[in-house]
Structures are given as C-alpha cells and as structure tokens.
C-alpha cells in the first residue's frame, strides 16, 4: 500500500534516551536493539539479495526443464516444493525467480523515484505555471484506478518485463512527485536556502544539494513500501494473464497458475511461490518501518 505514508512522514516515538555521542552507526545499532523486528527484516533482505545473486547456481534443477514423467508431485526429499503441471521443480523456480522479481520492483521504483523527484522538485521550486501543469498531470494519473491503468499500459505495449516495469513506474510517479514537491515548497524560502543562494550557488545546485536531501527520509520509507507493492502489482498482472512471458519463472505468475490447482489438491504450486512473495513484500514493509526509525531526524539528539 503505497499511499499510506504520504501525509505523515514520521511517527515520533516517545523521546528515546539519547545515547551519548550518537553517531549514525550507533543510532542504527540502537534502533535495531530497540526493535528486533527491524533487525529481522534486514536479515531477510540480505537473504533475498543472496538468493537473487547466486540462486541460478545453487538450485538443484534447471527451472525450465520439463519432465512429463514427474508432473504434479507433492513436496518430497527430491523435490522440496514439489513439481508443477509440466514436471518442473517448484523450489528451483521459486529461488531463480527472486532475481527477476527484485529487478522488476527495484527498476520500477528507481524509475518512479528519479522521474518523480525531478518533476516534484522542479514544480516545488519553480512554482507558477510549471507547478500548476505538473500538478494537474499528476492528479490525472492519480484519478485513474491505478491497477487498471497498469493493465491498460501493459495491454497496449505488450507484456514484456520492460513494459511491466514502465507501467509500475508510471503509476507510482505521482506519489514521489507530490512528496518532493511538498518538501521543496516548504524549504524554498528557508533561511539555509537563501544563505546557500547568497553564497553564489546556482539554483540547480541549491535544489539538488541543499533542499532535496531533506526530502529523502520520507522518500526512503516510500521506496521500501513501493518495492513490495511493485511485486504485488506484477503478480496481479500475471493473474489476469498480462504478466511476464512464460516460461520465465516469476512468483506472481506461479501463484496465479497454481491458484487453479488448489481445489484439486495440488496446493504446493501456489503456496510456496505465494509464501516467498509474501516474505519479500513483508520484508520490504518491515524495512520501511525500520528505515523510518533510522532516518527520522527527530529521533536523533
């Protein structure tokens, strides 16, 4: 859910007992100690990254190899997560899919982060006509039912990985742009901005190095939440048949296909990719909370 954290960038917790000489590292350490769930989420994230990096080399089977003699086998010692309707090893597919899913979500979020920041920063800093036009354009995107807009884009452009990324990025741009615009708008006339300008910095420089960094903390939270949401979005597209091309393993497509087999008793086809998908989204969401605690300037003394 990406719209949640826009209005209140930070949840101020009761003032923490200030650790002496608080450096960033100490602060992180403190947050992790205080909040073991956040620590857990970072561990899980590391796990995801590792399986994305080395997954294809460690899996026991070729994720694309079919085996008509061993279709729909329940989980066993040879096939930990069972096999699917073409006899492919579900465990291998789930692990190998990690990379693609992370790529989709990271690429989509990066794109919307960059474009959203630029549009939002310009609109907030320049104001005037540019601001009005940009804001109305963003409102227009927001007024669309977002999932249907993503569907439409993918249907129009064709269902390749790149198009899924573009569609996900486009529907997320307004959230970043609005956030940045609001932050920039507040600080446009702030003392430190004027000081930087008087010191001879160009507008672009002031914007990029003095104002924009202030918008980063709330955006970090937004980023980690969006990472999870991007995966869910891709899964939803798969469910209605507009996902990644077969036979590429991808969690959403595997859940969507497996869902048809639940009633006939082959629960493992949907359950394991579903579990992994949930784990990844879960990790990103928890990380979002943790990041907020870490980057929130109000929590430092």
Partner 1 sequence: MSGRGTAIALRIAQAIPVVIGVVVISFVLTRALPGDPAAQFAGIAATPESIEEVRRALGLDKPLLQQFFIYCAQLLQGDLGQSISTGRPVVSELAARLPASLELTLTALFVSCAISIPLGILAATRPGSWVDQLCRLLVTAGVSLPTFFTGIVLVYVFYYLLGIAPSPLGRLDFVYLEPPHVTGFFLIDSVIARDWETFGGTVKQLVLPATTMALFTLAPIARMTRAAMLSALSADFIRTARASGLSRRKVLYGYAFRNALLPVVTTLGMVFSFALGANVLVEKVFAWPGIGSYAVEALVVSDYAAVQGFVLAMALLFVFLNLVIDLAYSVIDPRFGTSAK
Partner 2 sequence: MTTTRRNFLKTGAALSAMPFFMSLPASAAARDTVVVASGETINSLDLHRTGTNRASYEVAINCYDRLIRFGTKTTPEGGVSFDYSQIVPELAESWTTSEDGLVITFKLKPNAVFQDGTPVTAQDVKWSFDRAVSVGGFPTTQMKAGGLERPDQFAAVDDHTFTVTLDRPSKLSLPDLAVPVPFIINSKLAMEHATDKDPWAMEYLHQNTIGSGAYKVIRWDNGQQLVYERFDGWVGGLTPAVKRVVRREVPSAATKRALVERGDVQVAFGISDKDASELSGMLKVDSTPIANCVHALCLNTNFEPFTDPNVRKAIAWAVPYEDIFKTAAYGRGAPLWGGTEEITDTAWPRKSQYSTNLEKAKELMAASAYPDGFEVPLSIALDLAYWMEPAALLIQEAVGKLGIKTTIDKIPGANWRTASLVEKRLEFHLENFAGWLDTPDYYFFWAYQKGHLFNSSNYFNEEVEQLTNETLHMEMDDPEYAPKITRMFEIVLDELPRIPLWQPALNVAMNGADGYEFWFHRQLDVRTLTPVAS
Residues engaged in binding partner 2 (CB under 8 A): 64-66, 68, 71, 85-87, 155, 159, 241-242, 245-247, 259-264
> Which partner from the list partner 1, partner 2, none does 159 bind, CB cut-off 5 to 8 Å by kind?
partner 2
d(CA 273, CA 90): 8
Query: Which residues does 261 contact at the CB level (< 8 Å), separation at least 6?
Result: 72, 85, 267, 269, 270
Residue 6 or 86 with smaller CB distance to partner 2: 86
87 binds, among partner 2, partner 1, none (CB under 5 to 8 A by kind): partner 2
- Classify 77 as helix, strand or coil: coil
Per residue in 115-131, is it b (16+ CB within 10 Å) or e — as a string? bbbbbbbbbbbeeeeeb
* Residue 67 zone, left/alpha/beta (φ > 0; ψ -120 to 50; rest): beta
In whole angstroms, give the CA distance from residue 21 to residue 160. 51
Q: Is the CB of 115 or the CB of 261 nearer to partner 2?
A: 261
Q: According to the binding rule CB under 8 A, does residue 145 interact with partner 1? A: yes
Closest approach of Cβ 182 to partner 1, in Å?
12
Closest CA to 219 of 169, 125, 137, 292: 292
Considering only residues 211-230, where is the footprint of partner 1 by CB under 8 A?
Answer: 228
Give yes or no for a contact between 217 and 9, defined as CB atoms under 8 angstroms apart. yes
Residue 75, phi then psi, degrees to nearest 5:
-55, 140
Q: Is the dihedral of CA 90, 285, 44, 99 positive or negative?
A: positive
102: DSSP letter: H
Read off the DSSP letter of residue 210.
I
What residues between 61 and 120 interact with partner 1 by CB under 8 A?
A: none
86 binds, among partner 1, partner 2, none (CB under 5 to 8 A by kind): partner 2
User: Residue 103 Cβ, how far from partner 1 at the closest point, in Å?
Assistant: 19
Which of partner 1, partner 2, none interacts with 32 (beta carbon under 5 to 8 A by kind)? none
Least distance (Å) between residue 153 CB and partner 2: 13
User: Collapsing DSSP states into helix, strand and coil, what is residue 300?
Assistant: coil
Q: By C-beta, is 15 or 69 nearer to partner 2?
A: 69
Residue 66, binding choice from partner 2, partner 1, none, Cβ under 5 to 8 Å by partner class = partner 2
CA quadruple 68, 70, 72, 74: dihedral, nearest 10? -170
155 scored as a contact of partner 1 (CB under 8 A): yes
Site for partner 1 in 249-278 (CB under 8 A): 252, 255-256, 259, 262-263, 270, 274, 277-278
297 binds partner 1, rule: CB under 8 A? no
Contact residues for partner 1, defined by CB under 8 A: 1, 3-8, 10-15, 34-37, 136-137, 139-140, 142-149, 151-153, 155-158, 228, 232, 235-236, 239-241, 252, 255-256, 259, 262-263, 270, 274, 277-279, 281-282, 285-286, 289
């Amino acid at each position: 859910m990406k719209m949640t954290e826009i209005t209140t960038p930070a949840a101020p917790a009761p003032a923490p007992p200030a650790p002496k000489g608080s450096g960033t590292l100490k602060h992180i350490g403190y947050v992790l100690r205080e909040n073991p769930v956040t620590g857990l989420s970072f561990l899980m994230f590391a796990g995801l990254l590792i399986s994305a990096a080395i997954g294809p080399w460690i899996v026991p089977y070729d994720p694309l190899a079919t085996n008509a003699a061993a279709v729909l086998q329940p989980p066993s010692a040879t096939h930990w997560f069972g096999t699917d309707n073409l006899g492919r090893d579900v465990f291998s597919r789930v692990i190998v899919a990690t990379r693609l899913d992370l790529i989709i979500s990271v690429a989509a979020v990066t794109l919307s982060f960059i474009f959203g920041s630029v549009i939002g920063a310009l609109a907030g800093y320049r104001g005037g006509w540019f601001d009005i036009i940009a804001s109305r354009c963003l409102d227009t995107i927001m007024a669309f039912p977002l999932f249907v807009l993503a569907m439409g884009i993918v249907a129009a452009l064709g269902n390749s990985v790149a198009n899924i990324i573009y569609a996900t990025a486009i529907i997320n741009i307004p959230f970043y742009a609005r956030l940045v615009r609001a932050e920039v708008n507040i600080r446009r006339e702030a003392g430190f901005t004027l000081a930087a300008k008087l010191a001879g910095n160009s507008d672009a420089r002031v914007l990029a190095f003095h104002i924009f960094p202030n918008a980063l903390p709330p955006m970090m939270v937004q980023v980690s939440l969006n990472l999870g949401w991007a995966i869910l979005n891709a899964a939803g597209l798969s469910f209605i048949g507009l996902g990644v091309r077969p036979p590429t393993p991808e969690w959403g497509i595997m859940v969507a296909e497996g869902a048809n087999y639940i009633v006939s008793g082959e629960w493992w086809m949907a359950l394991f990719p579903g579990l992994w998908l949930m784990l990844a989204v879960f990790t990103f969401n928890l990380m979002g909370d943790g990041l907020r605690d870490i980057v929130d300037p109000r929590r430092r003394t």
